Structure formats: structure tokens, C-alpha cells
Structure 1
Amino acid sequence: MRNAAVLFVCLGNICRSPTAEGVFRRKLAEHPRLQAMLEVDSAGTAAYHVGEAPDRRSTAVAARRGYDLTLLRARAVEPEDFARYDYVLAMDSQNLSNLRAVCPAEFEGHLGLFLDFAGQSGAEVPDPYYTDGDRGFEEVLDLVEAASEGLIKHLQAELFR
């Protein structure tokens, strides 16, 4: 068995990726052995919101489902992240493209889309930032919950073999 680290990435790190981090952390708490082996974080490919809390709509919708995002703060993806994280998971293809552009050739981890772990190969977590109301944020939570469950199963198979 070995330890691993997971980084969730969207554009500004205030909607999708902090939601993924919060959901994944809570679901991971149901698997203490796996939880003890993982480091989890989130970041954005753009530095628009560094140091800011997640979007209030993300925080409110997540809280209604029992997820706490209040302690999270936005940060930008850094070159060191490719040395630190084994799984760098983008919310959409544009951010995946942004990550590929800065990914060092020696990176041996998994760089891909988060929803691949929900059995939705190539699918994207849509950006809810410009949507009206909570519907887009609810959809993000639905997708992130499914992908988190799939990622946990994948990591259990990888780390406990």
C-alpha cells in the first residue's frame, strides 16, 4: 500500500473544484483507512479569485446536502502540483487543456477529467457560475457526488491491491 494525493481543478477554484474537494473529503471520511492515505486539495487554472472563499451559491447548496465548504480558499495551480499530486482531475476539457499545457513531461500521475470516474468518459462538470438560481449548482453536486463515489472505488482498488 502507498499514499496518494488528489487535486481537483476548475477555472477559478470557487465553484466546481471546491465543491469536488468538499464532497470528496466527506465521502472519504466514510472510508477511514483510505482517508488516512490520501491528501486532497483543489485549485484553479486561472488566478481570478486567489484567497477567496467558494462562491456563496456553491457553499449554500453544498450546505443543504451536508457539505461544508466554508474553510476552503481559492488558489491557482502551481508547477509543483504535478510533483505533489498523483491525480490531477479537471472539471472540463478547457481546464484539462490548460493543465496539459503546463504539465511537465516527467509527470507520471493521472491527468484527466473527473467525470471519467463516474463512468461518463469525456463528460464535463458544467460551470454554474453564470446560471440563474441554484439549479446549476445542484447539478454540479449531483455529478460530483457520482464521480466521488467512483474515484473512491478506483482508489481502493489501486491502493489496496
Structure 2
Amino acid sequence: MEHLEARKISVLFVCMGNICRSPTADAVFKHHVRSAGVEHLIHIDSAGTHAYHIGEPPDRRSQQAALKRGYSMQGLRARRVAQEDFSRFQYILAMDHHNLEELQQDCPSQYIGRLGLLLQYSNQWDTYQEVPDPYYGGNHGFERVLDLVENASQGLLRHILGKEIHAK
């Protein structure tokens, strides 16, 4: 654990507008990190590939679904991925292939290895590779996002802690 404490790990979750999926991942992962007692070791943020909702809070339906499960999105505001994010974050995890492609187009070549899909850390990877966008659907879509993000968040945390512990 000493190696992990020597350098803070940073994780950025990315979707299109930063009002549904990526703030959900932000809130859920923060919860798991706090529960594991390692919040001082991991910095978490979220952003969007498009500037549709800059400064807005997460979608009301996302917030309601998250609150039902004990996750708070209080204080989160939409922002667009900035060029400096590619150097600041070790893990830049898109919710779907489309947003991953957007990131790959903008990412300097030396940081391309930091990009990935959130669900690559899920034990449901064989079934789901993308977190579906719930924006235009019903409330069940927001519940599905939470199901997938919860599973992948646990896997991501295990990966980060395991990788850093074994790197000593």
C-alpha cells in the first residue's frame, strides 16, 4: 500500500454530455473508494466529450436513481474533457465505443494507453461492453446504468488496488 500512497491514482469517467452515465460512475466509484477507506489515494472526476450541458447538474432521473441506492451526486457539474485531462488522469474510461473513439481522436499518442471502456472491469464483460445511454428512455434505463456501473466500479477498484500493491 505504500507504493499507492506515494502517488495518487486518478480516474476520469467519460460519456457524451456528462449528465447521466459518467456522473453516475463518478458517484458510484467514489462510494466504493470511500467504503474501502482509500479515498485519500484515488482522485475521481467525470467529463463529457461534447459541450452540451457544461455547468449543469446531473440529469434529475440519474440523481433520483442514484439516491435510491445511496449514492450522492451533490455538487457534480457537467464539464467537457480538457486537453490536460489526458496527462492528469491515469485511467480515462469511456461509457461506450463512440465516446472512446472521440477520446482516441483527441488524445496525444503518449497517453493513448490510458484510455479504455469502464465495462472492461466488469465481470459481465462477455455480455455488456458498453453502458447504454438512458437519456431518451424510461426510468429502467437509469437502473440498468447503475447495475452495470456498480459491477464495473468494484472490478476497477480491485484492479487498481491489486495492480498498485503488486507493483511494489
Q: Same fold (TM over 0.5)?
A: yes
Please give the per-residue CA displacement for 1:3-46, whole angstroms capped at 9, x wherever unaligned. Answer: 210000000000000000000001111111x3211110000000
Query: Which whole-Å CA distance do the structure 2 matches of 1:35 and 1:151 have between them?
Result: 14
Matched, 1:30 2:35: yes
Kindly indicate which of the two structures has a greater share of residues assigned to helix. Answer: 2
Q: Is 1:130 matched up with 2:136?
A: yes
Runs of 4+ in 1 over 2 A off after TM superposition: none
Corresponding position of 1:14 = 19
Q: What value does the CA root-mean-square deviation take over the aligned residues?
A: 1.2
Q: Which residue of the other structure, out of 71, 77, 91, is the alignment partner of 2:95?
A: 91
Name the structure 1 match of 2:44: 40
Unaligned runs of 5+ in 2: none
Residues 39-90 of structure 1, C-alpha deviation per residue, up to 9 Å, x if partnerless?
Answer: 1000000000000000000000000000011210000001100010000000
Cα 1:67–1:11 shift into 2, 3 Å: same
CA contact (8 A) 1:85 1:109 kept: no
User: Could you tell me how far apart the structure 1 residues matched to 2:162 and 2:77 are?
Assistant: 31
Contact kept, 8 Å, 2:19 with 2:58, in 1: the verdict is yes
User: What TM-score, normalized by structure 1, do the two folds share?
Assistant: 0.95
- Unaligned 5+ runs, structure 1: none
Q: 2:136 aligns to what SS in structure 1?
A: coil
Identity level (%): 51
Structure 1 contact 86–108 (Cα < 8 Å) conserved: no
Q: How far apart, CA to CA, are the structure 2 residues paired with 1:74 and 1:106?
A: 26
- Please tell me the residue identity of whatever aligns with 1:116: Q
**Aligned residue for 2:151?**
146
For 1:135 and 1:150, the matched residues in 2 are separated by 23
Give the counterpart of 2:59 among 51, 55, 61.
55
Greater alpha carbon shift after TM alignment, 120-129 vs 95-104: 120-129
